[in-house]
Amino acid sequence: MILKRIFLALIVLAASGLTGAPVVAPADAQGLADRRPRDDNSIEPGGYSLDDAVELAQSRYRAKAVKAETVEEQGRRVHYIRLLSAEGRVWTVRVDAATGRIQ
C-alpha cells in the first residue's frame, strides 16, 4: 500500500516535470480567491459592495470565495459568490446588494 502511494506520487511529479505544469494539491485551492482591485462602481450607496458580500458569505459558510460577480436582475443588483469549502464542496450563493440578504 505504501509502495503504491509512493509510486503514484512519483508519477505525478514526473508528469508535472515533463509538462511544466505545477502540481496543485486540493488543499491549495483555498488560495484561489480573486484579489484584483475593484473599480469605484463596486460600492453600493447605502448597500453592500461586492467585497462586503464576499466577506459576509465567507464568514457565514466558513468557506473561501473563488469567484464573485455582480449582475442586475429585475432592476436590482445581486452579487453571485462561488464558494469552496475545506472539504472541496463548491456552491454559489446570491447576496442582495441593497440588503445583504443571502439567498
Length of the chain: 103
DSSP 8-state assignment for residue 37: P
Q: Determine the Cα–Cα distance for residues 65 and 102; give it in Å rounded to an integer.
A: 14
What cell numbers appear for 15 in the block?
508528469
Candidates 17, 10, 58, 14; CA nearest to 34 is 58
What cell numbers appear for 33 in the block?
480567491
pTM of the model: 0.58
Q: Determine the Cα–Cα distance for residues 95 and 101; give it in Å rounded to an integer.
A: 6
What is the model's pLDDT at position 48? 95
Q: What is the DSSP string of 7-19?
A: HHHHHHHHHHHHH
Alpha helices in the chain (DSSP H): 2-19, 50-61
Q: Low-confidence residues of the chain, pLDDT below 50? A: 21, 23-30, 40-41, 43-44
Contact between residue 68 and residue 50 where contact means Cβ atoms under 8 Å apart: yes
